[in-house]
Structure 1
Amino acid sequence: MIKLQNITRQYRMGDQTVHALQGIDLQIGRNEMVAFIGASGSGKSTMMNIVGCLDRPSGGEYWLNGRAVAAMSGDDLAHVRNQEIGFIFQSFHLLPRASALDNVAQPLIYRGVPLRERLALAERALQRVGLGTRLHHRPNELSGGQRQRVAIARALVGKPSILLADEPTGNLDSATSLEIMDLIREVHAEGQTVVMVTHEPEIAEQCQRIVRLRDGKVVSDERVQAPRPERAP
């Protein structure tokens, strides 16, 4: 599903060149649940941006579902992001004046889904994440955990092939983090491919596979038997 070959990414900062990624070789198969973990500056966020087609590598090849990403136009990449990839962000990225229902329905607008159908799909997605009674609440009327559930529902509403989660528990307390990870793991158990960025080892350990990055390189890639997280009382 995801194949990276000798991926590099450089940035210019003043008169210096920053080597954010240095020769990444990685494959992620369908229905895997993978965590990228590393300290600040390790390259994990750059890796996520490239996998999510938000950024292009400076060198190397990226294949997504059998397609060479380098050969895609800007419109093609926008189409892939809308059709193939669901994004979950640490800061939720919800529209503050829109209801939970409208926030979740938003990606379907760009697919041309008729209003009645997209609202029905959005309601179903919110029910799936346990927010069927919060359809018309705005983000400021929801807790942090509920806002993240809205973000997860929005990511899933279009049935993407890949779910990308960038520090999905970073702004949440430990009890709520466990609830969100339980939900993500339930989604994975239903067949979803999940790729996650985190700096928290206890969150990474809930995944099947942990890819550790340091200075833009993969320093380890291990498969683990993820334990079942215990819900806080």
Structure 2
Amino acid sequence: MITFEHVDKIYASGEMRVHALKGVSLHIEPREFVSIMGPSGSGKSTMMNVIGCLDKPTSGTYVLDGIRIGSASAKQLSAVRNQKIGFVFQNFNLLKRTSAIENVELPLLYAGKNKKERRERAEYCLELVGLKDRMHHKPNELSGGQQQRVAIARALSNEPAIILADEPTGNLDTASSEEIMGIFKQLNDSGNTIVLVTHEPEIAAHTKRIIWFRDGKIESDRPNLERVSL
């Protein structure tokens, strides 16, 4: 599903160079549930950007679902993001004046699906996250946890190969965070591959594998034995 081989990522601005990833190698199989952790500046956000095809590696090899990302054109990368990856962000990134179901339909609109296909798929995805009865509500009529559930439904709409979640519980209270992680667990149990970035150990504890970054390198990569044994 995801393979990194000796990946470096260097950002250059004038004479300044920031070596954000340093020789990173890893493999993530289909159906895994992985968290990426590390202190500020460790490279975890850069790692998420590269996995999500928002950035290309400076050197090394990255293969996503059989596609070599380093040699892909901008148009190909856009297609990969739209077809292979579902994004979930800390700030939800919902259109404020648009209903929940219309927010979920948006990726399907970009994918060229007709109105009937969009509506049926969006309703199904909202039902998966327990929000079908709120599908005509706008974001300001929903709680933070409900807004994040809409964002998860939107991420699922194009049936992506992988779901990437960047601090998905960062703006939520403890109870809502537990609800969101419960949804991710159900999705993973149903076969979805999930990779999330978090700085919260209690959130990472819900995942089956924890990768810890420091100074642009993988410091540790271990199974979460308590979670795996469940």
TM-score in same-fold range (> 0.5): yes
What is the letter of the counterpart of residue 143 of structure 1? S
- Provide structure 2 residue ranges, at least 5 long, that are not aligned to the other structure: none
Aligned to 1:190: 190
The normalised TM-score by structure 2 is: 0.96
Does residue 16 of structure 1 match 2:20? no
Aligned to 1:209: 209
Aligned to 1:86: 86
Does residue 136 of structure 1 match 2:122? no
What is the letter of the counterpart of residue 214 of structure 1? R
For the Cα contact (< 8 Å) 2:53–2:81, is it kept in 1? yes
Q: Decide which moves more: 60-69 or 41-50.
A: 60-69
- Provide structure 1 residue ranges, at least 5 long, that are not aligned to the other structure: 229-233
Aligned to 1:51: 51
5 Å matches for 1:1-233? 1-227=1-227
Matches of 1:202 and 1:167, distance apart in 2: 12
**RMSD, aligned α-carbons:** 1.1
Matches of 2:205 and 2:18, distance apart in 1: 30
For the Cα contact (< 8 Å) 2:99–2:135, is it kept in 1? yes
Q: CA deviation digits over 1:159-210, x for unaligned, max 9?
A: 1110101000000001110000000000000000000100001111111100
CA change 1:27–1:227 in 2 (3 A) is closer
What is the letter of the counterpart of residue 114 of structure 2? P
How far the C-alpha of 1:153 sits from its partner, in A, is 0.2
For the Cα contact (< 8 Å) 1:30–1:193, is it kept in 2? yes
Matches of 1:177 and 1:39, distance apart in 2: 21
Identical-residue share of aligned pairs (%)? 53
Aligned to 1:231: none
Matches of 2:130 and 2:226, distance apart in 1: 24
Matches of 2:137 and 2:41, distance apart in 1: 37
Q: CA deviation digits over 1:55-89, x for unaligned, max 9?
A: 11111110111221112111111111111110000
Moved over 3 A (4+): none
Matches of 2:168 and 2:20, distance apart in 1: 22
CA change 1:59–1:113 in 2 (3 A) is same
Matches of 1:226 and 1:186, distance apart in 2: 17
Matches of 1:202 and 1:23, distance apart in 2: 28
Matches of 1:138 and 1:226, distance apart in 2: 38
Paired residue secondary structure (1:210)? strand
How far the C-alpha of 1:13 sits from its partner, in A, is 4.2
Matches of 2:182 and 2:8, distance apart in 1: 34
